[in-house]
A = this chain, B = another copy of it.
């Protein structure tokens, strides 16, 4: 355990003891001293009783800060016992995008009841935000930002910013709008500070800026942020009105989330699963995928069955054939990993598709020849039959060529069909390399059977 983990554990112990003793002062001191995310992590281990005492001893503003940092499960546990009015009180201290996340996880009727209790202005904003899908720009944007009229002078703007600063999330970037409320530029606090007092925002703003529409997929937004080193992205509608902003800390969460999903999908696991999933959840999420794989395995089994009489005559075939399919799978997975990552980073476009495809095909042939030659020689020495070596050499080249082409084409096709390339590519790839691998090798063996016996 690291030093930091030990410290956190001691604090957690202290916090729990203070809660048990209903020691309001100690509890609040700990909360003031420790980052809300660390408090949230500690509270994941809390019992319902401890959470109940926590509500009694800690005021709404602090609970709201912890709620913003909590994971979904803790959020539910923290508010499930509260009545709607208490929830509204908590919400007063929270960012709109965090409120929407919490409401999104609630049953429909409860959500409606809570929204109806809100002030009219808030209600409208929340309802608009709830209208966007969770994984779109609209779903991750916040509505706390500063937008100022383009005719403002730098001095007026600075005064306004000073007034609004305590209430809003981002003050380093100010969004400049014209009389039609269209977003026409962005200006940084730095520009305002260094500008002449009388300069208008219009004269110092940057007119070239990246903006997104609320329907854009969050992964695309994260690619823009990472490409252009943005710290905040305005979300605008078709009439160029500013709807909200996306901040870089939310983008980091998106990137981590999408990475986790890609990684787990590649390994044949649901993106929802984590170390914390229960045994039952894990079974439910993994077993279907194993059954899909079982179909592939039986396809390969049927191919082998067709050549049963050939194997009966040369049993060595049974021992060496998994080498052909295994190596095909490995080579194909190499191609697949590069493709899936390139697709995720938006680096692959159709116009540049032919050259790398030819490269992968050549790579399959060359690597297949290299691996096949070594395998062939070893097999020759093991079984004393040169033709068996030649057959495995030829089969290896064919199967690695298939692996390279399939590893390249399958994720692109899935992407074009709007399926997740990370999820389904490997199953199609393994099917191809197993079925073709066994078929080619055993077919060659059958054709040249007299030479093998």
Q: Which residues of A contact B (CB under 8 A)?
A: 1, 5, 33, 35, 37, 158, 161-162, 165-166, 171-172, 189-190, 193-194, 208, 225-229, 231, 248-249, 251-253, 255-256, 259-260, 262-264, 266-269, 273-275, 279, 282-283, 286-287, 289-291, 293-294, 296-298, 300-301, 304-305, 308, 311-312, 315-323, 325-327, 330-331, 333-334, 336-338, 340-342, 345, 347-352, 356, 359, 362-363, 366-367, 370-371, 374-375, 378, 382, 430, 434
Name the 10 nearest CB pairs between A and B, nearest first: A267-B337, A318-B318, A229-B249, A304-B319, A297-B323, A259-B259, A312-B315, A293-B330, A269-B334, A172-B172
Residue in B closest to A324 when the chains form the complex, CB atoms? B297
Report Cα–Cα, A297/B340, bound state, in Å.
26
On whether A342 and B274 interact (CB within 8 A), knowing A308-B316, A363-B283, the answer reads: yes
Residues in chain B near residue A375, CB distance under 8 A: 294
Q: Which of A300, A317, A334 has the most CB of B within 10 A?
A: A334
Question: Does the CB pair B228–A231 fall under 8 Å?
Answer: no
Question: Does the CB pair B301–A311 fall under 8 Å?
Answer: no
On whether A371 and B290 interact (CB within 8 A), knowing A308-B315, A318-B311, the answer reads: yes
| 22 A-B contacts (beta carbon < 8 Å) | A37-B228, A158-B193, A171-B189, A226-B253, A226-B256, A231-B231, A248-B249, A260-B341, A267-B337, A268-B333, A269-B337, A275-B338, A286-B331, A291-B374, A297-B323, A298-B378, A300-B326, A304-B318, A318-B318, A322-B325, A322-B434, A326-B434
Question: Does the CB pair B304–A322 fall under 8 Å?
Answer: yes
On whether A263 and B264 interact (CB within 8 A), knowing A275-B338, A275-B356, A308-B316, the answer reads: no
On whether A345 and B260 interact (CB within 8 A), knowing A231-B248, A301-B319, the answer reads: yes
Residues in chain B near residue A362, CB distance under 8 A: 279
Task: Tell me, rounded to whole Å, the shortest Cβ–Cβ distance linking A191 to chain B.
Answer: 9
Residues in chain B near residue A260, CB distance under 8 A: 341, 345
Query: Which of these, B161, B304, B338, B340, contacts A193 with CB under 8 Å?
Result: B161
Copies of this chain present: 2
Query: Which of these, B161, B172, B275, B334, contacts A267 with CB under 8 Å?
Result: B334
Query: Which of these, B283, B293, B367, contacts A327 with CB under 8 Å?
Result: B293
Question: Does the CB pair B363–A282 fall under 8 Å?
Answer: yes
Report Cα–Cα, A208/B11, bound state, in Å.
16
Question: Does the CB pair A282–B359 fall under 8 Å?
Answer: yes
Question: Does the CB pair A166–B189 fall under 8 Å?
Answer: no
Question: Does the CB pair B194–A283 fall under 8 Å?
Answer: no
Given contacts A231-B231, A318-B321, 17 further A-B contacts (CB under 8 A): A1-B350, A162-B194, A165-B193, A255-B259, A263-B340, A268-B334, A268-B337, A275-B342, A279-B362, A287-B371, A290-B327, A293-B327, A297-B322, A301-B322, A304-B319, A304-B322, A308-B319
Residues in chain B near residue A269, CB distance under 8 A: 334, 337-338
